[in-house]
C-alpha cells in the first residue's frame, strides 16, 4: 500500500512469488547493525519504491543524522519484488536489515519465523512514542499483543471514477449507495458512453473483504479464510456475468493496457483501489479522476478500515534503542512529513499530517476522502492477516484473472483457490 508508482497487479504477483518461501531465520550470527570505537552506531534501513521515494527518504535521513550524530543510517531500496527477494535471502541468513518498510500482509508471516522485533519495550523505555497518531492507525501494526510495525502512511479502499464519463452518463455517486445501484450505474455508463463501467472489481481481494465484512463475514480469520466456496462461487459468477454483459472491462483488454490501468486508458469508467493510488490515474490518463464512496449492502456500512505501510525492525538487531529513535523521528518529525507528503499514504501522526499541506487537487481530495470516511463512522478494525496471506492475495487475483479471460470455469477456479489457500496456510 502506498506503492503508487507500481501497477498493483504486478505488486500482488510479486508478493506471492517472492515472499512465499521464506524459511526460518538462522539461529546463529550477529545482529544487523554495527558500532565503532568512537561510539557511532550504524543501522541498516531498507524499503521498496521508486526513485522519488528514495530521494525523499534520504532527505529525511539527513535531518535525522543531524539530530543524532552518533547514529548513521545505511540505506538500500529496491522495486517491490526485488525487495522481498533480497529480504528473504537476508532473513534466511540471519542478517535482515535493522529497520525496514513493511505491510500488514507480512506481519504474522515473519513474526511466526521470529524475524520481527516487538517494539513495545522501546515504547515503554521512552525511545518511541505511540501518542499523537490519527485515530486507530497504530492498531494496524499490532499482532497478538505485540507492536510489530509503526505506521508511516495510511490508506483505505476507495472507488476511483472518471468524472467526465460519470457526468456524461448522468450518474452521481453518493454515500451509502448500494451494490445494486452501483451495478445499475455501470450499465447506464456503458449504454450512454459505450465504455464499460468498471475495470474488474471481482479479482480484488481487498474489495471482496469489504463486501464480506458488509455481510457479517471477512476474507481472513486469525488462522484461515472467513468465507466458504459457496460465497466465492456467487462473487465470481456475478463478476463474470458482468464481463459477458459488457458492463465490466474485458480482462484481455485489461491485460493489454498494462502497465497502464484500463481506467486511465479510457477502457473503464471506475476502478476500486487504495485511495492514495489516485495520483497514478492523473499521471497516466487525460481525463478527470476523483474518489467516490464504496457501495454498501445495507445503505450504510462500507466495511472499510485503515491499512498502512509501516516501519518494522529486526529481532536480531544489536541496536534496538537507536532503531526506536529512528522510527520515532521518521513518523513524528513534522519536517519529515513535509518532505514525504503522501508518497506512502496519508501521514499517520498528527504532527506530520498537520505539517503537510498538499497544494495539488488530487492529494487534497485524497486527504479529504480519508477525513470524510473517518467522520462517517464507517471505519472498522482491520481484518487479521494470517501467515500465508500474501500468497493467497496473489492467488486470488491470478485465478480470478484467468477466470475472466475464459481459461477456467467458476467451479474449477473456486476449487483451485481453496486448494492453494490451504497450501499457503500450511507452508
Domain that holds residue 284: 157-304+384-426
Which pLDDT band holds residue 26 (cuts at 50, 70, 90)?
A: very low
4 has pLDDT over 50: no
Q: Are residues 115 and 165 in the same domain?
A: no
Residue 298 reports pLDDT greater than 60: yes
Gap between the Cα atoms of 133 and 331, Å rounded: 9
CA distance readout (Å), 285 to 158, 171, 298, 299: 18, 21, 34, 32
Question: Which of the pair, 182 or 21, is modelled with greater confidence?
Answer: 182
CA 384/CA 409 separation, integer angstroms: 30
Residue 176 lies in a domain: yes
Instruction: Say if 90 falls within a structural domain.
Output: yes
Is pLDDT at 14 greater than 80 in this prediction?
Answer: no
Does 407 lie in the same domain as 262?
yes
CB of 158 within 8 A of CB of 166?
no
Within this chain, do residues 217 and 256 fall inside the same structural domain, yes or no?
Answer: yes
**Statement to judge: residues 128 and 165 lie in one domain:** no
Claim to verify: residue 180 and residue 242 sit in the same structural domain: yes
Do the beta carbons of residue 372 and residue 393 sit within 8 Å? no
pLDDT in tens, 331-377: 999 999 999 999 899 999 999 999 998 988 888 999 899 888 988 88
- Whether 161 shows a pLDDT value over 60: the answer reads yes
Answer yes or no: do 282 and 314 share one domain.
no
- Of 209 and 278, the one with more pLDDT: 209
Task: Find the CATH number of the domain harbouring 225.
Answer: 3.40.190.10
In a domain, 377, yes or no: no
pLDDT, position 207: 97
- Mark whether 215 and 346 lie in a shared domain: no
Confidence at 50, pLDDT banded by 50, 70, 90 = confident
Amino acid at each position: 500500500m502506498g506503492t503508487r508508482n507500481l501497477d498493483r497487479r504486478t505488486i500482488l504477483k510479486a508478493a506471492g512469488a517472492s515472499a512465499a518461501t521464506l524459511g526460518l531465520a538462522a539461529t546463529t550470527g550477529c545482529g544487523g547493525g554495527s558500532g565503532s570505537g568512537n561510539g557511532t552506531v550504524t543501522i541498516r534501513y531498507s524499503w521498496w519504491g521508486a526513485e522519488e521515494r528514495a530521494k525523499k527518504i534520504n532527505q529525511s535521513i539527513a535531518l535525522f543524522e543531524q539530530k543524532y550524530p552518533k547514529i548513521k543510517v545505511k540505506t538500500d531500496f529496491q522495486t517491490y519484488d526485488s525487495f522481498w527477494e533480497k529480504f528473504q535471502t537476508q532473513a534466511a541468513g540471519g542478517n535482515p536489515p535493522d529497520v525496514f518498510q513493511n505491510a500488514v500482509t507480512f506481519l504474522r508471516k515473519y513474526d511466526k519465523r521470529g524475524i520481527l522485533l516487538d517494539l513495545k519495550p522501546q515504547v515503554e523505555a521512552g525511545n518511541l512514542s505511540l501518542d499523537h497518531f490519527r485515530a486507530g492507525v497504530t492498531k494496524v501494526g499490532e499482532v497478538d499483543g505485540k507492536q510489530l510495525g509503526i505506521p508511516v502512511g495510511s490508506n483505505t479502499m476507495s472507488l476511483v471514477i472518471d468524472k467526465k464519463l460519470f457526468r456524461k452518463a448522468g450518474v452521481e455517486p453518493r454515500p451509502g449507495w448500494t451494490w445494486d445501484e452501483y451495478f445499475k450505474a455501470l450499465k447506464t455508463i456503458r449504454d450512454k458512453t459505450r465504455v464499460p463501467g468498471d475495470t474488474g472489481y471481482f479479482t480484488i481481494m481487498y474489495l471482496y473483504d469489504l463486501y464480506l465484512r458488509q455481510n457479517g463475514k471477512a476474507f481472513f480469520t486469525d488462522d484461515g479464510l472467513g468465507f466458504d466456496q459457496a460465497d466465492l462461487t456467487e462473487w465470481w459468477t456475478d463478476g463474470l456475468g458482468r464481463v459477458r454483459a459488457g458492463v465490466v472491462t474485458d480482462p484481455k483488454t485489461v491485460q493489454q493496457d498494462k502497465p497502464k490501468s484500463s481506467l486511465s486508458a479510457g477502457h473503464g469508467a471506475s476502478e476500486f483501489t487504495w485511495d492514495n493510488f489516485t495520483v497514478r490515474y492523473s499521471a497516466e490518463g487525460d481525463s478527470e479522476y476523483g474518489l467516490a464512496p464504496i457501495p454498501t449492502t445495507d445503505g450504510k456500512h462500507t466495511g472499510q478500515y485503515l491499512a498502512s505501510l509501516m516501519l518494522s525492525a529486526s529481532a536480531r538487531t544489536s541496536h534496538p534503542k537507536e532503531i526506536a529513535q529512528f522510527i520515532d523521528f521518521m513518523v513524528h518529525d513534522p519536517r519529515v512529513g513535509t518532505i514525504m507528503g503522501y508518497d506512502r499514504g496519508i501521514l499517520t501522526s498528527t504532527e506530520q499530517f498537520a505539517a503537510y499541506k498538499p497544494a495539488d487537487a488530487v492529494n487534497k481530495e485524497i486527504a479529504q476522502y480519508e477525513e470524510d470516511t473517518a467522520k462517517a463512522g464507517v471505519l472498522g478494525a482491520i481484518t487479521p492477516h494470517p501467515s500465508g496471506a500474501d500468497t493467497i492475495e496473489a492467488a486470488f487475483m491470478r485465478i480470478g484473472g484467468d477466470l475472466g479471460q475464459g481459461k477456467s470455469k467458476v467451479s474449477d477456479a473456486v476449487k483451485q483457490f481453496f486448494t492453494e489457500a490451504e497450501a499457503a496456510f500450511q507452508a
